[in-house]
Amino acid sequence: MTTIGILGAGQAGATLARSAIEAGYSVLIANSRSPQTIADLARSLGPRARATWAADAAAAADFAVLAFPYVPGHALPAEELAGKVVLDNNNYMPWRDGTFSAVDAGTRTVHELRQEQLPAAKLAKALSHIQFHGRDQVRIPGDEAPALVRLARPAGAPDRSALVVSSNYPEAVELVRGFYDRLGFDTVDNSPLNESWRSTPGTPMWQASFDGQSREELIRNLQRAERTRPSSSRSPAG
């Protein structure tokens, strides 16, 4: 059984852990504190989940997910993640994170900066435009469920949504493709990592992400993106 190390136990990490377990994975989940602080969460996830220290989760995982914002100078378990595929679901949100001059200047994406923090890992931007919460305004039954759950469909379903992956490593893209499929989504490859700005908050694909978009729609929306200075205002929650 494939083991995922989920570093970050907030809403995104906890929601992803539940979906991954339902898809047949086992999960090691960690936060920036101690395993005891998320013991209740781990128990609620069932027998295929265990709370642990971040470095231990990174070391034991077959691949890992970073479910927390990028912070310059942040000490990550780089040695434990060396050689592994690492999914980064972060988005650059200046209203939340402050501004990063390289990202604002267009010389780096926030995911390239994260890759520099983990030079020996195989980073992929993934799961960055699927919401881990329900819609703010419930229109129909089911809207209260996280979009990761609400939009999931079996392979071949006519209304199956697609998600983006960007990476400098083809093997990371293929791992994410298989992961997405088991979670219930098709894949659009928007590599390399320096193209990941096309799936950032405010872009056409981002605006269409709350109710899902087909693979063809997602490709068109990525192509429509124009690189502009990121907004300092809060992004819509969907």
Q: Taking the alpha carbons of 49, 119, 230, 161 in that order, is the dihedral positive or negative?
A: negative
Bridge partners for 150 per DSSP: none
Separation CA 184–CA 175 (nearest Å) = 14
Bridge partners for 26 per DSSP: 3
* Number of C-beta neighbours around residue 40 at 10 A: 10
Look at residue 136 in the predicted model and tell me its pLDDT.
72
Distances (CA, A) of 115 to 36, 94, 120: 29, 19, 8
Look at residue 229 in the predicted model and tell me its pLDDT.
60
Please name the helix (run of DSSP H) or strand (run of DSSP E) that holds residue 173, with its range, or none. helix 170-183
Look at residue 145 in the predicted model and tell me its pLDDT.
85
What does the pLDDT profile of the chain (238 residues) look like in tens digits? 899 999 999 999 999 999 999 999 999 999 999 999 999 999 999 999 999 999 999 999 999 999 999 999 888 999 999 999 999 999 999 988 899 999 999 999 999 999 999 999 999 999 999 999 867 777 766 777 899 999 999 999 999 999 999 999 999 999 999 999 999 999 999 999 999 999 999 999 999 988 899 999 999 999 999 987 655 444 443 3
Q: Which candidate, 42, 85, 93, places its Cα nearest to that of 61?
A: 85
Distances (CA, A) of 233 to 95, 98, 198, 202, 215: 6, 11, 18, 10, 29
**Which amino acid is located at 36 in the chain?**
Q
Q: Exposed (0-12), middle (13-18) or buried (19+): which is 76, by Cβ within 10 Å?
A: buried
Q: Taking the alpha carbons of 41, 150, 141, 213 in that order, is the dihedral positive or negative?
A: positive
Q: Which residues, at least 6 apart from 32, have a Cβ–Cβ distance to it below 8 Å? A: 54, 68
